[in-house]
Structure 1
Amino acid sequence: MKIVIAGGSGFIGQKVTELLVAQGHSVVILSRKERDPSGNIEYVRWLEKGSTPEKEIGYADAFINLAGVSINDGRWSKDHQKQIYESRMTATEELLRIISMLPEKPAVLVNASAIGIYPASTENVYTENSLETATDFLGKTVHDWEIKAKQVEDQSIRAVFMRFGVVLGKEGGALPLMALPYRLFVGGKVGSGQQWVSWVHVTDVVRSIHFAICNDKLSGPVNVTAPSPLQMNDFGKTIGTVLQRPHWMPVPSFAMKMVLGQKSALVLEGQHVVPRVLQESGFEFKFPTLRPALEDLLL
């Protein structure tokens, strides 16, 4: 297949590209920079004055939208929140325009999303059928992003919203920072320790994206989380066990709020999310439980 990726240079985008190329697909990465093609990877300029990516793409079997300013970079100042929100809206709006200009439409748009759309809770268990929507900054951003991307259905194109959990990887995602205190022998309970961590190995993230492209019965929200979420205290203990480090020094909530501001909600609050759609569709996780996932990434 010929697959177009927006956000292909990011942490997940690079991994997705590697998988798709390894499986023989050709990949077009939308980029703001001029780059030479490499093997099965082509680069097309977009979001720049005078750029007309639709003319260079020609046709595509699928689009993947991972574009947007990272929520993990910097404090959540008002300016940064505005960048996070507007970068997603702008990129998705442009993708809708590009797709509308293509004479031959793609079969599917796989759009990034996040479990932050669900309200934080220590008691609720969320599936794709859960209707509650968080009213905080992240919840509103994810909700509006999905509504925007859903407009592609007006062009009779299947839309899939991949609600990523806490993505664990070696080079990016949350794990390097989560593991650092343990490597320094100062790991321990963060906040109450009761908040849920609905995690997923980055390998299963990219496999699920490919699965969504190929499975034409998949549409709408898809929770991309391992089937065995843990509460933060147990998550931390597992990191300590894998690294052979103690789990002893608590980090109080107020300290996290002082350091991270509003962004502290990412570690002090959580959602218990299960990947019902993926499981019922026959997707098999390579890393369904945490310890093997951490051993793969940390050792």
Structure 2
Amino acid sequence: MKIAVTGGTGFVGRALINELTKKGHEIFILTRNGSNRENSSLITYIQWLNEGDQPSESLEGIDVFINLAGESINSGRWTKERKKKIIDSRIDATKEVLHILSHLQKKPQILINASAIGYYGISDTQTFTEKSSEFGTDFLAKTVQQWETEASKAREFNIRTVFCRFGIILDKADGALPRIALPYKLLAGGTVGSGNQWVSWIHLKDIIGGIEFTISNESIEGPVNFTAPTPVSMKEFGRTLGSVLQRPHWIPAPEFALKAALGEMSMLVLEGQRVVPEKLLSLGYSFAFENLHDALTDIY
């Protein structure tokens, strides 16, 4: 297949492209920067989001469009300016994707748009599936809602549109896990905040596997929760991580200290939601890692 990817140099994008090229797919990476290009006969780099760029001219005939573009929510303290950049980067990139799609004579079969479980908001008691009607009112929830609303306009072109609501993605080299693991490696790990907040996690390998499953399964549309079937509390997550790393779980990180250090961004570790991947499970996706201990053991 011919697959276009935005955000191809990011955390998920790099891993996804690596796997897709191994399977012989032809990849078109949309990028602002023409430097640092990988040398591969299966990868073509296309300039976009710069004045004068005409990416649609190089994308006629693509089968799949994957939009992962957006400023990292971990990129710095959430000042007013940073929040604007987080939202605008997602909306602007998605608008450009729609502009490209509008100019293609032959539309791709599917648009896969990144999203996040932050859509559901914060709760220690509820369990959220794709059928849940509740949605949050905090900054992350509103950001995701705007993002999905914009991406949903692809349906006007009769393109199957999927919103991948990513949970906490676990990987050794990138994402949240290296930061969570560092205190344990320094023998200073312990419960973060109350410890009762939910961690709806997923191994990076299941992000890739789930995306491939979504592409091939034509019945999948709309929101899809990309989380493992077994979310855990932050306290359990820490204890399991300490066990796998053979390090103690004993020094707590109090809520007031994290709020003082991180500001509103502290909600990334102090708040959470229990999310289960009902759609993937009901359609037969087999998770490589359903159990947190197994996932962390594989990573470390």
In which range does the TM-score fall when normalised by the shorter chain? over 0.9
Partner of 1:23: 23
Aligned-residue offset at 1:259: 1.0
User: Over residues 94-125 of structure 1, what are the superposed CA-to-partner deviations in whole Å (9 max), with x where a residue is unaligned?
Assistant: 00000110111001000000000112111100
User: Over residues 130-177 of structure 1, what are the superposed CA-to-partner deviations in whole Å (9 max), with x where a residue is unaligned?
Assistant: 011110110000001001000000000000000000001111111000
* CA distance in 2 between partners of 1:150 and 1:159 (Å): 7
Partner of 1:244: 246
* CA distance in 2 between partners of 1:203 and 1:176 (Å): 16
Instruction: For 1:242-281, list aligned pairs within 5 A.
Output: 242-281=244-283
Aligned partner of 1:250: which letter?
Answer: P
* CA distance in 2 between partners of 1:14 and 1:34 (Å): 16
TM-score (norm 1): 0.98
Partner of 1:201: 203
* CA distance in 2 between partners of 1:15 and 1:116 (Å): 22
Partner of 2:228: 226
Partner of 1:9: 9
User: Over residues 28-58 of structure 1, what are the superposed CA-to-partner deviations in whole Å (9 max), with x where a residue is unaligned?
Assistant: 0000112556220110000001000000122
Report SS of the residue matched to 1:246.
coil
Aligned partner of 1:266: which letter?
Answer: L
Unaligned runs of 5+ residues in structure 1 are: none
Unaligned runs of 5+ residues in structure 2 are: none
Partner of 2:178: 176
Match of 2:68 among 50, 66, 77: 66
Among all aligned residue pairs of Structure 1 and Structure 2, give the percentage whose two residues are the same amino acid: 51
* CA distance in 1 between partners of 2:116 and 2:256 (Å): 25
* CA distance in 2 between partners of 1:241 and 1:39 (Å): 43
* CA distance in 2 between partners of 1:175 and 1:39 (Å): 33
Aligned partner of 2:17: which letter?
Answer: T
Report SS of the residue matched to 1:257.
helix
* CA distance in 2 between partners of 1:159 and 1:240 (Å): 40
Partner of 1:290: 292
* CA distance in 1 between partners of 2:285 and 2:275 (Å): 16
Aligned partner of 1:22: which letter?
Answer: K
What count of residue pairs does the alignment treat as equivalent? 298
Query: Does residue 105 of structure 1 match 2:110?
Result: no
Report SS of the residue matched to 1:50.
coil
Match of 2:128 among 126, 129, 136: 126
Aligned partner of 1:189: which letter?
Answer: T
User: Deviation above 6 Å: which 4+ runs of structure 1?
Assistant: none
